[in-house]
Copies of this chain bind each other. A is one copy, B any other.
């Protein structure tokens, strides 16, 4: 199985040794630091057995690449730890590997090493993504300063809406909107091109996986600041508006849904021009949605008045 499906994914990475050795090696350019991230996705928790195997592979890979992007790092390759449930046969593995191959080509990375084991439990895919960045330039959560602005890439809530569609909501949606939302749920888009420009202006950043409000809460917590978000500015796609509308309910749902894999970041006001230049260079829309102040937690404001946010386990008001 390794020789047939996975060894080809290591072609082009000298330190992968064609997956014919016990370890992978990686020599970073001088002055670069390694950036590493591991994240697992689990059957019946993060995906379903019937999901297309190539998309499961892409999701497992992309949730990690998204972290690298949000930290300003460039991905190099990854290690795969695959626990195969009895139901996953040769065809499934072939489709899974095909998904990885497509993403490798898209993102210019390689499989560096891995481990495949049978499990009597559910199928689990754990990926360790490796990347690099100029030493000391990794953008942390703990850098937001009072007076900074808060930005977010792309649009918020689409993945959550896509999951809702898969669960039966939105029966009157157009085919195009259905497909767009489901795709956002199944195949996150790591914002790598934009991410590499972040070290030029961002004071703190992360990728949104728990939900916009919860993740901004993570920045607020370790930066020891208050983040105030203007609800009206949170960018919603037309597909999301088609299923949930544009009201405050839709905004709150979008901002707490999670799985966005957009980048939320803070930057000083003087960096607005640099943010604009990055938008023009990458073509990725970025929206200014709030400010960093004194205090703690995240507050969502509707015309200046705090809006109650449910599931606010990660936030403080």
Are B22 and A206 touching (Cβ within 8 A)? yes
Question: In the complex, what distance in Å separates the CA atom of A15 from the CA atom of B81?
Answer: 23
Question: In the complex, what distance in Å separates the CA atom of A140 from the CA atom of B20?
Answer: 9
Please state the number of chain copies in the assembly. 2
Question: In the complex, what distance in Å separates the CA atom of A153 from the CA atom of B164?
Answer: 57
Interface assignment of A67: CB less than 8 Å from any CB of chain B: yes
Q: Quick check: which of A93-101, A110-118, A155-163, A309-317 contacts chain B, the rest being far away?
A: A110-118
Of B39, B83, B206, the contact of A124 (CB 8 Å cutoff): B83
Q: Mark A16-47, 1 if CB is under 8 A from B, else 0.
A: 01001111111110100111111110111110
Are B43 and A121 touching (Cβ within 8 A)? yes
Given A120-B45, A120-B122, A33:B25 Cβ within 8 A: yes
Question: In the complex, what distance in Å separates the CA atom of A37 from the CA atom of B42?
Answer: 21
Q: Quick check: which of A68-76, A176-184, A225-233, A272-280 contacts chain B, the rest being far away?
A: A68-76
CB neighbors of B among A112-139 (8 A): 112-115, 117-122, 124, 126, 128, 130, 133, 135, 138
A interface residues with partner B (beta carbon < 8 Å): 15, 17, 20-28, 30, 33-40, 42-46, 67-68, 70-71, 73, 79-81, 83, 85, 112-115, 117-122, 124, 126, 128, 130, 133, 135, 138, 140-142, 206-207, 222
- The 18 listed contacts between A and B (C-beta, < 8 Å) are A15-B33, A22-B37, A22-B67, A22-B71, A22-B141, A23-B71, A24-B37, A25-B138, A27-B135, A38-B81, A38-B115, A40-B81, A45-B118, A45-B119, A119-B122, A119-B124, A120-B122, A121-B121
